[in-house]
Structure 1
Amino acid sequence: MIDPTLIENIVAAKFEDDEVFIVELAVRPGNKIALTIDSYNGIPISYCIEVSKLIEANLDRDQEDFELEVASAGIGQPFKVLKQYHKNLNNEVEILTADGKKIKGKLTAVAEDGFSVEIEEMVKVEGKKRKELQVQVVDFKFDEVKQIKDIISF
């Protein structure tokens, strides 16, 4: 079976030059290679084709046959690596907490162990008849959430 480290080594220099990062790399039984990539500026399909050709040129099908899929990280898909959090700073996100609660807000900070989200809520203020819109920043640890993904709005 093809070693995922071999694939990482093949693309490392190109990805560093182009400021691209690996979101997910899996080599499944039958040498089915699935590589998902992203960058701070997005990934066009033409770039995925370039990466696919680069990998194919550096592997020998006669020695070990393989199936290859190179894709960009999808919009609205859960984040898998820390760089995706950094890429989406100041963007709207949806969080699914470990206890199943959905929260929407703006991603305002990212650290090694967690992130912060600015949330707007209608809150009942003492002495007033109507609820008022209040903004609060909520901190999350990565192990407190099942998933976080970007929200696309037009």
Structure 2
Amino acid sequence: MNLKDKVKALVDSELSQQESLFLADLSVGADNSIRITIDGDNGVGIDDCIQLSRAVEGALDREEVDFSLEVTSFGATEPFVMARQYAKNAGRTVQVTTTDGHVHEGTLKGIAEEQVVIEVESREPKPVGKGKHTVRRALSFPLSDIKETKVIIKF
């Protein structure tokens, strides 16, 4: 079993005890630098990262292989890597880039049956009279048509 498979098994075992946490990314560099990124349905605290780090480090033998270990939480500006993150971020403003290059910004309504739904607003001419009014409409995208989705943080 290679180092990445061993670490993945350790992470899966540890995270199975905390149903709200999940693995977002795992990489092992050529120099045995291990980087684990976790996310959670209710967020990730520093204690969650520490606990996972201790569990993985305690199970690996430094005599067998020299390694460095970094456990981090999923960043607020990182693109989503799994469907579970869409449900977690419902209600937030997101930017969805589709595989055909179109970019859509709106409020994430959620995900159902592999379809991501966002609500977008646009100013359009009134059907009668002068001026414009705000129109809201829902856009739906199959997960397979999404290249990248990021949370937009507004201050």
Q: TM-score, normalised by structure 2?
A: 0.88
SS in 2 for 1:128: coil
CA gap of 1:61–1:2, structure 2 versus 1, over 3 A, is farther
Label 1:90 to 1:132 Cα distance change in 2 as closer, same or farther (>3 A). Answer: same
Q: Which amino acid aligns with 1:110?
A: I
Paired residues of 2:14 and 2:55 also in contact (CA < 8 A):
no
Partners of 1:112 and 1:61 in 2: how far apart?
A: 44
Structure-2 residue corresponding to 1:60: 61
**Is this contact kept in 1: 2:21–2:41, CA < 8 A?**
yes
Report the counterpart of residue 25 of structure 1 in structure 2.
26
Conserved? CA contact 1:2–1:27, under 8 Å: no
CA gap 1:143/1:7 in 2 versus in 1, 3 angstroms: same
Deviations along 1:13-51, whole A, 9 cap, x unmatched? 431222210001111212121110010111122321221
Q: 1:81-92 residue pairs with structure 2 within 5 A?
A: 81-92=82-93
Partner residue, 1:3 = 3
Q: Deviations over 1:44-76 (max 9, x none)?
A: 223212211111100001111111111000012
Contact in 2 for aligned 1:94/1:149 (Cα 8 Å): yes
The offset of 1:6, in angstroms, is 1.7
Gaps of 5+ in 2: none
Cα distance, 1:96 vs structure 2:
2.3
TM-score, structure 1 normalization: 0.88
Q: Helix, strand or coil for the counterpart of 1:53? A: helix
Query: Where in structure 2 are the equivalents of 1:10-49 lying within 5 Å?
Result: 10-18=10-18, 19-49=20-50
Structure 1 contact 25–33 (Cα < 8 Å) conserved: yes
Residue-pair matches, total = 154
2:142 aligns to what?
Answer: 141
Does the 8 A contact of 1:2 with 1:31 survive in 2?
Answer: no
Q: CA RMSD in A?
A: 1.9
Name the SS of the counterpart of 1:7 in structure 2: helix
